[in-house]
Amino acid sequence: MMMPNIALIATALVLAIVMVIMAIDIRMIFERLTRYRRIIGEYPPTLRRLFWRQFAWIGFPYAQLVSLIFWLLVAFPTACQLARLAMAPA
């Protein structure tokens, strides 16, 4: 009987966790953008453009964006490691 490759299973679990975290970050970014868009929807178009420009500098969820970039940088080598382990002869 063939023994399961523990490193392959652990790497797959780590990659799955990283992908869940990235999905949460993406959801939080879109939720914040949508909420702000609804708030400024009542104003005239000129004020909406002004508020949107200010939001890009002041209120954009940069913490989630930096977190997303970090997790993308973690996910790429993890995916490469997973592929290497999956292709390795048993």
- How is residue 7 written in tokens? 């490193």
How far from each other are the two terminal CA atoms of the chain, in whole angstroms? Answer: 12
SS3 76: helix
What DSSP state is assigned to residue 88? S
> Among candidates 56, 82, 71, which has minimal Cα distance to 17?
71
Is residue 1 scored above 60 in pLDDT? no
CA dihedral 43, 46, 52, 53 (to 10 degrees): -150
Condensed to tens digits (0 to 9), the pLDDT of residues 34-67 reads: 988 888 888 898 988 888 888 888 888 888 999 9
